[in-house]
A and B are shown apart, each in its own frame.
Chain A
Amino acid sequence: MSQADLSIHGQVSRSEATEVMTAPTFHVPAKKMAMWLFIIADSMTFAGCLVAYGFVRNATPNWPRPFHSVTNVAIMTFILLTSSLTMLIGLRSAQKGDKAGAFRWTMVTAALGILFAVLHIREWMGMIAEGATLFHNPWGTPLFSSLFFSVTGLHLTHVTGGVIALIAVAIRYQGGRYGADDLEITGLYWHFVDLVWMFVVPLIYLLNLSH
């Protein structure tokens, strides 16, 4: 019985079976799917941290509200949101074949990431100067400082990693070793870092604003 006969009789031919087995999941290329799986796993990490923070905040009487101004965090939010837009501009340039434009906008995204990190570290330095450390908090329970530095530190680590990845991928894209799809995958990670910040700001900063 030939392969054609098998197909006619409702059975799957070898070529059809191979096609099914090697077809990308959800029509998404393998390395992009890997990034999505990483994002799902990482969102669980952040969700766990934020829920743990919520648990401790809820269960601790006289939770401190040390933030007097939101100017710095508002600027940081604006920078991170804008960096997502510049990443998209870079990606669209790459998909149109505008290599110089894609490289330029990806580097602008990385520069905005660096600016965000600098502002974040400056804010940390201000808090450390007031006596807040991982194990000490001048405004009340030390749990506040522990959670603040842990959650924002985890996010800052992601931003730092993202900046390094953006620069590395942009340089390799410029050199012709990477393509637009690689820029898109790095962009997915960058948008995810931005997305997490949308939850960190209200929960860690705005709910702890002194009135």
Chain B
Amino acid sequence: MTTETHSGSMGKDLIVYVFLLVLAAAQFVIAYQDISASQMFVRMLAVAIIEAGLALLFFMHLAENRGLMWFVLIFLVAVALGLQYGWTDAFRLSNGVPWAR
């Protein structure tokens, strides 16, 4: 089996690592902001998705293989979207049925 070598350098890995540390720190800063839980959730999730994207593209070298990148992305997005069907029920349990009021 041939060994793949990846383009890029240790310098690029270090830059991505520092970015990830900064983004992780940003999540902790958001946790102490005086905002609602839903706003906090949206901001933290946005930061987490950026972090995950950086890790996938550079640490896991998906940026170097477009075909594999789309393959992984399509699966992940399809599953993430598919799992959203339960939210309306969760809100019904917490807020009641709007049309019954």
CB pair B90–A43 under 8 Å, yes or no, is no
Within 8 A of B (CB), among A48-66: 48, 51, 54-56, 58-61
CB pair B44–A47 under 8 Å, yes or no, is no
CB pair B71–A26 under 8 Å, yes or no, is yes
How far apart sit A104 and B91, CA to CA, in the bound complex (Å)?
51
A75 to chain B, nearest CB (A): 11
- Which B residues touch A199, using CB under 8 A? 45, 48, 52
Q: Contact partner of A206 among B1, B20, B44, B59, CB < 8 A?
A: B44
Known contacts A191-B59, A198-B24, A207-B41; is-contact A88 B83 (Cβ 8 Å): no
A85 interface residue (CB < 8 Å to B): yes
Contact with A along B85-96 (1 / 0, CB 8 A): 011011101100
Contact with B along A194-211 (1 / 0, CB 8 A): 110011011100110101
How far apart sit A180 and B71, CA to CA, in the bound complex (Å)?
24
CB pair A206–B24 under 8 Å, yes or no, is no
- Which B residues touch A43, using CB under 8 A? 76, 79
B68 interface residue (CB < 8 Å to A): yes
**Interface residue count on the A side (C-beta < 8 Å):** 51
B30 to chain A, nearest CB (A): 7
CB pair A92–B65 under 8 Å, yes or no, is no
CB-nearest residue of chain A to B14: A85
- Which B residues touch A211, using CB under 8 A? 32
- Which B residues touch A36, using CB under 8 A? 68, 71-72
Contact with B along A14-47 (1 / 0, CB 8 A): 0000000000001111011000100110011001
B98 interface residue (CB < 8 Å to A): no
Q: Which of A76-84, A135-143, A145-153, A158-166 has 4 or more CB atoms under 8 Å from chain B?
A: A76-84
Using CB atoms and an 8 Å cutoff, list the residues of chain A in contact with chain B. 26-29, 31-32, 36, 39-40, 43-44, 47-48, 51, 54-56, 58-61, 70, 74, 77-78, 81-82, 84-85, 88-89, 92, 95, 179-181, 184, 188, 191-192, 194-195, 198-199, 201-203, 206-207, 209, 211
Closest 6 A-B residue pairs measured CB to CB? A202-B44, A59-B93, A206-B31, A26-B67, A58-B90, A26-B68
Give 8 pairs: A residue, B residue, CB < 8 Å, sorted on A: A26-B65, A47-B79, A58-B93, A70-B28, A78-B24, A92-B10, A195-B51, A202-B41
